[in-house]
Structure 1
Amino acid sequence: MGYGGGEAACGCHEGPTGQMPSVKKQTARAGKTTPIKRRDRDRTRQEILDIAFAEFAENGLSGGNTDAIAARANITKRLIFYYFNSKEELFTAVLEMAYAKMRAAEEDLHLEALEPEAAIRRLVEFTFDFHHANPEFVRLVSIENIHRGRHIGASQRLKEMTQPSISQIAKLLARGVASGAIRPGVDPIELHMTLNALSFFSVANRHTFEAQFAWDMSSPKAKAQRRSEIADLLWRYLRKV
Structure 2
Amino acid sequence: MSRKGIDPKIVEVLEWTCRFWQDAGIYHVPVAGKRGKQPDEDFRRKSKELSDLEAELKDCTRCRLCEGRTNLVFGDGNPAAELVFVGEGPGHDEDMQGKPFVGQAGRLLTKMIRAIGLDRSQVYICNVVKCRPPNNRTPQADEIAACSPFMFRQLEIINPKVICLLGACAASTVLRLSKSISAIRGKALKWRGINVVPTYHPAYLLRNPRAKSKAWEDFKLLYSLLKAPN
Do they superpose with TM above 0.5? no
More strand by share: 2
More helix by share: 1
TM-score (norm 1): 0.29
Larger Rg: 1
